[in-house]
Chain A
Amino acid sequence: MKKKVALLTILAMTVGSLTACGGSDAADAGASTDAAAESTETTDEAADSTDETASADAEGKTTISFWHYMSEDKEGKFVNEAVDEFNKSQDEIFVEAQYLPREELMKQYTIGVVSGELPDVGMVDNPDHNSYASMGVFEDITDLYENSDDQNFLEGSIGSCYYEDKLYGVPWGNNCLGLFYNKTLLDEAGIAVPTTWSELEAACEKLTTDSCKGLAISAIGNEEGTFQYMPWLLSAGGSVEELGSDASKESMTYLYGLIEKGYISKECVNWTQADAEKQFASGQAAMMINGPWQFSGLEADAPDLSYGVARMPKADNGEYASILGGENLGICTGANVDAAWKFITWITSKEKSQEICKSIGRFSPRADVDTAEMFAGDELNSVFAEIMPDAQSRGPSPDWPEISAAIYTAQQEVFTGQKDVDTAMNDAQATVDALK
């Protein structure tokens, strides 16, 4: 008998281990829902502090949920403000906005497809939109959109919402990458803002000291790493389809050269873009590659830092390139479609889109918003406004997560010295080819 008890104990022990960390079982869903519940609490608290009457207003209204990943302390508060405004503007729908970290939110979509617990309106990173649409996370809203009188989105932006010729969402905001430079450090070294790769390398050489690296980038092993690498790849004339081409390899060789010479910290393979921002803000890097959503972070971390932004330097024989980032909104499967659509059309309308995007460091994905006018007098954002039209999108492809994995893996292999550029890029090309 004792033996049987012991067997049961052991079973429970091993089993507990599996469910706690296992792949995609229901227990995971339970754990994550807890996390989600916790975030609800915090969101609620935040909402309470801004507006107490809003929750009272929910009575008698149709309540819909809106999940987003605009971080609470930065962009999130503007999102909450907009949602409050919507809740007060009419008496039919009450929107409950909830923040979840990006990774967590993406996991929730995957779990929600099986468990049925999806929000009514959800935010998604635009290169991933295709995958989640193919998974069945979002409702087909082609008819709703085509029958609406407001179809003024930029082609590239709305393009990322289409999967197999059907529309699964509308764009929320765009961004792209540029070069941030520390004005003080560049002035002291007496160098101009670099515009080409050779100039960038020369600038890095002068700017790199024991306590300060020339440039900070993120080469982490996830989508962020791919996002950061794309402009280099595109500027050299390379492409995702031909990662093994000479032009593609050239971009990797160049970046690895900067790391080998010590101009970029080897630790970039573990850095997110937020980490790169911390390096730049603390003066441990004289320049960084990053996007306009970092302005609010820099303001908080280093209010006295004197910095400027410019286009990312182009390959010596190439063109300027940047990469399109941003988020889309979709109506989730099984949601209250009518209410959700009303909210989405309101928050992505010309006036609101312009207002919110300006606050959260995004560019409006709408064709009828005059970006130049929107950022008139704003030196930093105007630069990004100029870069935006050149920014190319990732995908759209339902296989994008795997393509992206091939790219960031190659980058990590090269940067950590595990493979040489030729082998890593040929392997990446083979992975991408195998998906076709």
Chain B
Amino acid sequence: MKPNSTEKKERRLGYLFILPAVIYMLIFIGYPIVYNWIISFQDVTATTLASSARDFVGFENYKAIFADGTFRKSLSHTFIYTVGCLVIQFSLGFLFAMFFSKKFTVSKPIRGFIVISWMLPVTVTALVFKFMLGESSGIINTILINLHIIKEPIGWLLKGNTAMWGLIIANSWVGIPFNMLLLTTGLNNIPSDVYEAASIDGANAFQKFRKITLPLLKPTIMSVLILGFVLTFKVFDLVYVMTAGGPVDATEVLSTYSYKLSFQLFKFGQGSAVANVLFVCLFIVALIYLKTISKDEVM
């Protein structure tokens, strides 16, 4: 009986300690989410925004956005963009991480240098890439033409399919160092005696990579991918500055479309509905992540 009550006491004290954090989360994170869900079920337009008595319209806003071609496009664009970025960022980031975890003289300064691109404000990156991808005066076209890879300048951000590539390239430039940093840390945490033992047993480099590096790095890889997914999926500033979702709606993603619906077309209900779809997508990814790490913990 006695130990039980101390445990209870301690637990209560524990709750007391996290109370400030919980209150903070409820007010600053919980409230906006709940508010956003509420208006996504209401008829909120320019005329009803200020009035307190807005009509509840059930799933009308969701029906409207799923019937809307631009929304469906922006949903698929968001996935294309995210997967495209993840593949490039992760594979190149991994290569860099492997390379720079070898301890040669300048590995650290160069690694630091590469991280600069990750530290730049996204708006700056977006503007720089917008200029570099310009049709007539952009440096990328100039280089490609002088190397005789292309004959005519490409209007990178002027055509739907190339505009998406432009965004993916710009974002990967930021994402590669981010992936590299996390993966290098993971690699450094693998004890070197495991590799030594493997060498004694006669394992070659490829076997070491497959049987030691990958399994031991798995938790890091999972968190890098999930973090990368979340950060990429919710992209706003990069797209907004580089193309603003254009040309027409070729690079419209969920966040920019939500912004457009709310603040340019004043369809606040639908804008919130789009934001909630974004939320649900990310929440599912987060649950998948939880599943995988809880499996690892059992091990």
Please list the residues of chain A having a beta carbon within 8 angstroms of any beta carbon in chain B. Answer: 2-3, 6-7, 10-28, 106-107, 110, 113-114, 131-132, 134-136, 220-222, 265-267, 269-270, 284, 333, 398, 401-402, 405, 409, 412-413, 415-418
Contact = CB atoms under 8 A, between A and B. Distances in A.
A417 B32 CA distance: 41
Nearest to B158: A266
B278 A18 contact: yes
A415 B247 CA distance: 9
Nearest 8 CB-CB pairs, A to B? Answer: A136-B50, A23-B271, A17-B234, A25-B32, A10-B286, A21-B236, A22-B275, A14-B282
Nearest to A418: B248
B274 A18 contact: no
Interface in B207-243: 227, 230-231, 233-234, 236, 243
B36 interface: yes
Given A23-B259, A270-B157, A398-B47, A18 B297 contact: no
A114 B49 contact: yes
A20 B290 contact: no
A23 B36 contact: yes
A398 B231 CA distance: 37
A135 B278 CA distance: 27
A23 B261 contact: yes
Nearest to A411: B248
A398 B230 CA distance: 37
Contact of A24 (B33, B231, B248, B272): B272
B294 interface: yes
A32 B86 CA distance: 30
Nearest to B227: A13
B49 A110 contact: yes
Contacts of B33: 15, 18-19, 25
A6 B130 CA distance: 38
Contacts of B255: 21-22
Interface in B167-196: none
B258 interface: yes
Contacts of A409: 248-249
B30 to A, nearest CB: 8
B290 A3 contact: yes
A7 B290 contact: yes
Contacts of B25: 12
Contacts of A266: 135, 155, 158
Contacts of A401: 264-266
B76 interface: no
A188 to B, nearest CB: 21
Interface residues of B, number: 64
Interface of B: 25, 28-29, 31-33, 35-36, 39, 44, 46-47, 49-51, 130, 134-136, 155, 157-160, 227, 230-231, 233-234, 236, 243-250, 255, 258-259, 261-266, 268, 271-272, 274-275, 278-279, 282-283, 285-287, 289-290, 293-294, 297
Contacts of A269: 158, 246-247
B49 A113 contact: yes
Interface hub of A23, A270, A401 (most chain B Cβ within 10 A): A23
A284 B274 CA distance: 41
6 contacts: A17-B233, A17-B279, A23-B268, A25-B272, A284-B136, A416-B250
Given A15-B29, A19-B29, A23-B275, A416 B47 contact: no
A13 B282 CA distance: 9
Given A24-B39, A416-B160, 16 more contacts: A3-B294, A18-B278, A20-B234, A20-B236, A21-B275, A24-B263, A25-B35, A25-B275, A27-B32, A222-B264, A266-B158, A267-B155, A269-B246, A270-B130, A270-B157, A417-B159
A220 B274 CA distance: 24
B121 to A, nearest CB: 14
Nearest to A412: B248
Nearest to A268: B158
Nearest to B289: A10
Contacts of B32: 18-19, 22, 25-28
B279 A135 contact: no
B158 A416 contact: yes
A225 B195 CA distance: 62
Contacts of A106: 263
A13 B283 CA distance: 9
Contacts of A333: 50
A416 B49 contact: no
A135 B259 contact: no
Contacts of A16: 29
